[in-house]
Amino acid sequence: MTYLDHAATTPILPEAVAALTGALSTYGNASSLHSSGRRARRAVEEARESIADALGARPSEVIFTSGGTESDNLAVKGIYWARRAEDPARVRLLVSETEHHAVLDAAHWLAEHHGARLTLLEVDDFGRVHEDTLRAAIAENPDDVALVSVMWANNEVGTVNPVRELAGTCAKHGIPFHTDAVQAVGALPVHFGASGASALTLSGHKVGGPYGVGALLLSRDVACTPVSHGGGQERDVRSGTLDVPGIVAMAAAVRVATEQREERAARLAALRDDLVRAVRAVLPEAVLNGDPGESLVDGAPSRLPGNAHFTFPGCEGDSLLMLLDAKGIECSTGSACTAGVAQPSHVLLAMGIEPAPARGSLRFSLGHTSTAADVRALAEAIGPVVERARNAGLAGLRRGTSPAAAEV
Amino acid sequence: MRVLAAMSGGVDSAVAAARAVEAGHDVVGVHLALSAKPGTLRTGSRGCCTVEDAHDARRVADLLNIPFYVWDFAERFTEDVVEDFVAEYAAGRTPNPCLKCNERIKFEALLDKAIALGFDAVCTGHYARLALVDGKPELRRSADLAKDQSYVLASLTADQLARAMFPLGDSVKADVRVEATERGLAVAEKPDSYDICFIPDGDTRKFLTAKLGARPGHLVDDETGAVLGVHAGVHGFTVGQRHGLGIDTPAPDGKPRYVLSLEPVNGNVRVGSADRLAVSEIVASRPIWPSGTPLAGTVDCVAQVRAHGGTSDAQASLVDGQLLVRPTGDLRGVAPGQAVVLYRPDPAGDVVLGSGMISATR
């Protein structure tokens, strides 16, 4: 099996498995006052301190959640509500067009049901938000902006945003800045404090931890109204009994992923460059989408090291995916919906790509288990697969509809 | 063979796919997303390719341990089936959208894509028997006459049928359900679908009026020419229809009135007594021969003029590229736009000789 979909989820790290299974055989509610509870609480707090240390945050800034989607929703809705409660004029949300649906749909929902005014920040052809775009959007009326949310690195095309610059612009106006760093943690140097962000989303299973656990890093001075109510376990911002095994396993994964980040990122970037070269050697017409990855943003790579995203002209993504799947190569069309129908990606459309080529795109994402053999397998398979998918694309074009055409 | 199984989420296509797997074929399941608004869950008995249907199909594929994908044919379906359906009604004809869907979507758009991707055949849960005889397809009625779907498959060309697979042709529905239960398929008890899939509430007239608006016209007595009333558009009527005519006064002789013909240009709906519905000749355009062999000379056969019922012994011939069908029995309510399908009676399942689209009746 050639697994090239690490951006969807990456295999759990042995260190995380050890932490998870170790914790699974213990018990105790971290909110209980007896010794079992204290033991659980201690494990959670050590995990919190470990994550804070790894990501340049203070332990009190780590709020455990059920994953990236919850963290994004909590940040967008919670900070919006809190900001509007302080000043009813603050109803504007500035969100980049290429956000994950967890941010985008939360923002649309606030616009539909909670009086928010949504401004989508335009991106360039690589999918990047420029500081002057944000500055101009804020300048329309700095006093009515509730929140800005721009992802650290895009999950589909891998383009890295100038987070420090964007956060700095927000800071000048006292506007909270949230960033979805689900793809960035473990791949780029993520330092919450240095970034200047007010809130940052991370997810356990994207860094080699378990599913169903994540965190929101939230500055102490940023108010956030809870989305779900209950015991108030996490700073009164997030309720629910803490998932002790999930949390300690995520902490183990974050620890390993950040400690090994530099070496791993360099290895994956080299492997990714091999992959891009190999695909282009077979298919010169394949278009690499997103930032070329040859420059620096905030001193780090301008593209996620493990990301390669191509458009294969004349092909449909679902055909490509099926044919590669049949050859044991697993990748992604980059977006999915509940019915499993491939819609053209909103990220690619925002980058100015037409719907037809957008449908003919695939994301290959590398991770800690990726090898040169994976790249070779793809290089060998991709040529015939694209040729076949292109024929199928042609077959999908309308036949003559005259009656004669329907006869034998 | 590499087989692509079209899986609707219903019991028939599930068992068909299971049988294809069991026969040793290399099967991949595909659910066709046909609705432009797929985000809805099924309400009542049946909706159109809902999220729930896709889920049911996926669960069957899980159990069969075959790959499964959802392919989007919503655009093609809207153009080739839904818009065609509306246009045909507007033109005073009565279309059969299932037939169109087989012809244009399942065995054209899907089949072409499947072949291009390296599959050898498309498998569906239709009730019809299909065999190759001397290298030519032979399409017969299903073993379950109540579920027989040869009528809606008769407009497939030999080329299309040569790459089709109907594993349920020899089975009766009750057995298929039992088999689904035995195989542990969760869809075993799922209700049959009867309605037109893109009109889940079954109200065709409301659907058409929403698309076409009101196009008022007269209800005219076919015998006297008298105007008996007004209507909101010929698209609300089908030849042979008795109910919902909206005529206040009964006929002088008290006989029920039926729709005899539709005249979309002047908006007239001609009505009259049942005996005027009888036809002596049917003209059908665009003849199609499932075996690839055109009708030679005048052939004694059984003609069927709608999906359920409406059969008569007949003599058929091919004249100037059109089918001429002369029913020898009593055949009433023959609606232009429907298919006429010709069968050669056979104890092992009536054989489809050919079909055409009814363009005129006399």
Active site residue: B49, B98, B123, B197, which one?
B197
The rounded distance, in Å, linking the Cα atoms of B174 and B143 is 12
Instruction: Copy the structure tokens of residue A259.
Output: 């400690």
Among candidate residues B220, B210, B235, the one with its CA nearest the CA of residue B88: B235
Q: Is B7 annotated as a binding residue?
A: yes
Position B220 scores a pLDDT of 94
Give the three-state DSSP class for B19: helix
Size of interface A-B (CB pairs under 8 A): 73
CA distance B123 to chain A (A): 18
Number of domains within chain B: 2
Cα end-to-end span (Å), chain B: 47
- Is B104 a member of any domain? yes
Taking an 8 Å cut-off on Cβ atoms, the answer to whether A396 and B33 are in contact is no
Enumerate the residues of chain A whose CB falls inside 8 A of the CB of residue B51: 338-339
Position B247 scores a pLDDT of 84
pLDDT in tens, B166-192: 999 999 999 999 999 999 999 988 888
- Whether domain A2-7+261-395 has CATH 3.90.1150.10: the reply is yes
Chain A interface, best mutation among B69, B136, B353, by max A CB count within 10 A: B69
What's the mean pLDDT in B271-294? 94
User: What's the mean per-residue pLDDT of chain B?
Assistant: 92
- Is B194 a member of any domain? no
The rounded distance, in Å, linking the Cα atoms of A42 and A36 is 10
Enumerate the residues of chain A whose CB falls inside 8 A of the CB of residue B39: 338-339
CATH of the domain at B241: 2.30.30
CA distance A403 to chain B (A): 6
Position A192 scores a pLDDT of 98
Enumerate the residues of chain B whose CB falls inside 8 A of the CB of residue A322: 28, 67, 69, 117
User: What's the mean per-residue pLDDT of chain A?
Assistant: 94
Domain shared by B171 and B228, yes or no: no
Predicted complex ipTM:
0.87
CA-nearest residue of chain A to B107? A406
Give the three-state DSSP class for B92: coil
Q: Is B16 annotated as a binding residue?
A: no
pLDDT in tens, B80-95: 999 999 999 999 999 9
CB B137 within 8 A of CB B292: yes
pLDDT in tens, B288-310: 999 999 999 999 999 999 998 89
Residue A159: count other Cβ atoms within 10 Å of its Cβ.
29
What's the mean pLDDT in A280-297? 96
Q: Which among B117, B287, B292 is the nearest to A319, CB-wise?
A: B117
The reply to whether B101 belongs to the active site is: yes
Q: Is the pLDDT of residue A100 over 50?
A: yes
Domain shared by B25 and B59, yes or no: yes
Q: Is B291 annotated as a binding residue?
A: no
Q: Is B213 annotated as a binding residue?
A: no
What's the mean pLDDT in A381-400? 83
Q: Is B6 annotated as a binding residue?
A: yes
CA-nearest residue of chain B to A402? B286
Q: Is the pLDDT of residue A395 over 90?
A: no
CATH of the domain at B22: 3.40.50.620
Taking an 8 Å cut-off on Cβ atoms, the answer to whether B285 and A395 are in contact is no
- Using 50, 70 and 90 to split pLDDT, how confident is the model at B72? confident
Give the domain range for residue B113. 2-125+167-189
Position B42 scores a pLDDT of 40
- Using 50, 70 and 90 to split pLDDT, how confident is the model at A309? very high
CA distance B159 to chain A (A): 7
Q: Is B355 annotated as a binding residue?
A: no
Taking an 8 Å cut-off on Cβ atoms, the answer to whether B286 and A394 are in contact is no
Domain shared by B179 and B250, yes or no: no
- Last residue of a domain, which of B231, B261, B277? B277
Q: Does A373 touch chain B (CB under 8 A)?
A: no
Give the right CATH number for A14-258 from 3.40.190.80, 1.10.20.140, 3.40.640.10, 3.50.50.60: 3.40.640.10
Domain shared by B174 and B269, yes or no: no
Domain shared by B120 and B16, yes or no: yes
Domain shared by B183 and B107, yes or no: yes
- Find the range with the poorest average confidence among A6-15, A78-87, B57-66, B197-206: B197-206
Among candidate residues A249, A184, A270, the one with its CA nearest the CA of residue A44: A249
CA-nearest residue of chain B to A318? B71
Q: Which among B58, B117, B288 is the nearest to A322, CB-wise?
A: B117
- Find the range with the poorest average confidence among A123-137, A391-405, B10-24, B115-129: A391-405
Taking an 8 Å cut-off on Cβ atoms, the answer to whether B157 and A408 are in contact is yes
Taking an 8 Å cut-off on Cβ atoms, the answer to whether B286 and A323 are in contact is no
CB contacts under 8 A, A 315-344 vs B, are: 318-319, 321-323, 325-326, 337-342
Domain shared by B45 and B182, yes or no: yes
Give the three-state DSSP class for B84: helix
- The owner of tokens 């360039």 is A124
Q: Is the pLDDT of residue B257 over 70?
A: yes
Domain shared by B38 and B183, yes or no: yes
Residues 6+ apart with CB under 8 A from A378: A2, A4, A275, A278, A279, A324, A329, A364
Taking an 8 Å cut-off on Cβ atoms, the answer to whether A396 and B109 are in contact is yes
Taking an 8 Å cut-off on Cβ atoms, the answer to whether A408 and B288 are in contact is yes
Residues 6+ apart with CB under 8 A from B141: B128, B129, B148, B150, B343, B349, B350, B352
- Find the range with the poorest average confidence among B33-47, B158-172, B220-234: B33-47
Question: Which residues of A are marked as active site?
Answer: 337
Q: Which among A326, A339, A396 is the nearest to B33, CB-wise?
A: A339
- Is B13 a member of any domain? yes
Q: Is the pLDDT of residue B102 over 90?
A: yes
Position B47 scores a pLDDT of 44
Taking an 8 Å cut-off on Cβ atoms, the answer to whether A388 and B109 are in contact is no
- Using 50, 70 and 90 to split pLDDT, how confident is the model at A295? very high
- Using 50, 70 and 90 to split pLDDT, how confident is the model at A398? low
What's the mean pLDDT in A8-34? 97
Taking an 8 Å cut-off on Cβ atoms, the answer to whether B28 and A322 are in contact is yes
Position A408 scores a pLDDT of 32
Chain A interface, best mutation among B72, B139, B156, B285, by max A CB count within 10 A: B72
pLDDT in tens, B317-334: 999 999 999 999 999 889
Among candidate residues B122, B100, B123, the one with its CA nearest the CA of residue B112: B122
CA distance A158 to chain B (A): 26
Instruction: Copy the structure tokens of residue B314.
Output: 């007949």
Percentage of chain B exceeding pLDDT 90: 79
CA distance B56 to chain A (A): 11
Position A341 scores a pLDDT of 60
Q: Is B33 annotated as a binding residue?
A: no
pLDDT in tens, B188-242: 888 887 778 888 788 898 999 999 999 999 999 999 999 999 999 999 999 999 9
- Cα angle A344-A100-A96, degrees, rounded to a multiple of 5: 95
Enumerate the residues of chain B whose CB falls inside 8 A of the CB of residue A387: none
Domain boundaries, chain A: 2-7+261-395, 14-258
Domain shared by B102 and B57, yes or no: yes
Sign of CA dihedral B229, B231, B233, B239: negative
CA distance A365 to chain B (A): 21
Q: Is the pLDDT of residue B316 over 90?
A: yes
Percentage of chain A exceeding pLDDT 90: 92
Position A342 scores a pLDDT of 63
pLDDT in tens, A113-170: 999 999 999 999 999 999 999 999 999 999 999 999 999 999 999 999 999 999 999 9
Length of chain B: 362
Q: What is the 3-state secondary structure (H, E, C) of chain A?
A: CEECECCCCCCCCHHHHHHHHHHHCCCCCCCCCCHHHHHHHHHHHHHHHHHHHHHCCCHHHEEEECCHHHHHHHHHHHHHHHHHHHCCCCCEEEEECCCCHHHHHHHHHHHHHCCCEEEEECCCCCCCCCHHHHHHHHHCCHHHEEEEECCCECCCCCEECCHHHHHHHHHHCCCCEEEECCCCECCECCCHHHHCCCEEEEECCCCCCCCCCEEEEECCCCCCCCCCCCCCCECCCECCCCCHHHHHHHHHHHHHHHHCHHHHHHHHHHHHHHHHHHHHHHCCCCEECCCCCCCEECCEECECCCEEEEECCCCCHHHHHHHHHHCCEECECCCCCCCCCCCCCHHHHHCCCCHHHHHCEEEEECCCCCCHHHHHHHHHHHHHHHHHHHHHHHHCCCCCCCHHHHCC
Q: Is B125 annotated as a binding residue?
A: yes
- Using 50, 70 and 90 to split pLDDT, how confident is the model at A283? very high
- Is B196 a member of any domain? no
The rounded distance, in Å, linking the Cα atoms of B141 and B172 is 12
- Is B113 a member of any domain? yes
Q: Is B51 annotated as a binding residue?
A: no
pLDDT in tens, A316-363: 999 999 999 999 999 998 655 444 566 789 999 999 999 999 999 999
pLDDT in tens, A248-261: 999 999 999 999 99
Position B51 scores a pLDDT of 75
Q: Is the pLDDT of residue B274 over 80?
A: yes
CA distance B153 to chain A (A): 14
Taking an 8 Å cut-off on Cβ atoms, the answer to whether A392 and B292 are in contact is no
Taking the whole predicted model, whether its pTM rises above 0.95 is answered as: no
- Is B58 a member of any domain? yes
Chain B interface, best mutation among A316, A322, A388, by max B CB count within 10 A: A322
What's the mean pLDDT in A270-295? 97
CA-nearest residue of chain B to A336? B70
CA distance B275 to chain A (A): 34
- Is B237 a member of any domain? yes
Domain shared by B11 and B54, yes or no: yes
Active site residue: B48, B49, B101, B123, which one?
B101
- Is B268 a member of any domain? yes
Q: Is the pLDDT of residue B50 over 80?
A: no
Domain shared by B218 and B185, yes or no: no
Q: Is the pLDDT of residue A176 over 60?
A: yes
Enumerate the residues of chain A whose CB falls inside 8 A of the CB of residue B289: 408
